Chain A
């Protein structure tokens, strides 16, 4: 199986705070890796390094067989990283379609926005996610689930190598959780990899192939799901179990 991401010895500090310490992780093509950990364990920092928001203080990122440096989100996106951020990074004043297409707007005649195409494609993507959000509506006032759908729809505009998702099921209705989990499985079917950050152990156990647990910036566990049991994972997250 081809390796898509290989992080080796990633170290990241913010002043005196060590957010990531000698972090190693590899993710294969079409693999869903669940990343768990308590608040402040360094999960979001790791995601932001992979997404090009932060540069690691030291360490190496190998992406799709090449050593890379993601200086900004654009670099990461170009390489094939799509992200669903925890806060979703939506612009409330823009329509759903303009949010989905933000910074890669469809054009005609080389410089004019192709509103029709953006609305049509957005409608299709939102339908696939079973969302009631309408492409022409502004995001202000939309429900948590509709917002989540827009942020997820963004990842469908390209053919990503990997999709990073930060708590995609935290703010949605109970009925919508299975839709999002189905979506994650469909990514796997199309051979895209997924790094799923979540606090919800049932979600992780349901879709992931492998589970990694972080505690205080270090990886304390990295196992196939079949070798994990929920009690052990919970113990690792809280620190009751030191490592596994």
Chain B
């Protein structure tokens, strides 16, 4: 049973077609990396799957539920969109932490707001908040920031901010965690500390989709690699086959260009 299924996704901005029929699916616990040149549609694909953009046509299913189907526009409701958002977690290239909150508050904000909607919130308020707090502390510990709980984003390095962002995305226990070029704004040293966290997540079988330019990392951490060019998937291969000898001519050319 696939955890994510994308069918024939198209997306245009005005007259520019960015996605031209993208289909793939992935299993629970799988780690998938999406590579390709800038402008190939990777980020747009991620944004469509995360409901930040509305695809022009196609179908998106996560777990058991189809959240987007252009042939059935009545499918989407406010409630289903909310479930859609909550089943995905997204880590942005530019972190997008909330500057007025500490690392811990950034991680706890969304779970707290969500908990208020629970019917038993009033009765068990103390326990629920305690649980959220402990979960948040544990997550920040997991990304190696237990000594930075009460620091504001402006007091953290880029790598630390991105790790807070990962903890924040994990706090809602999404079915799939997406990364949009998570290390593109970081220097090589900070990149490594973020990649280390992602590696740890992969080890613990977190379902992840990673848009990245780090080829070596993609090969190491992923089970599968999708190569995109001009809005279509040109290669969908096991990560171990990501080499200059791969079958796809276009992927070979891409790898040749970036390594040459």
Does A associate with B in a complex?
no
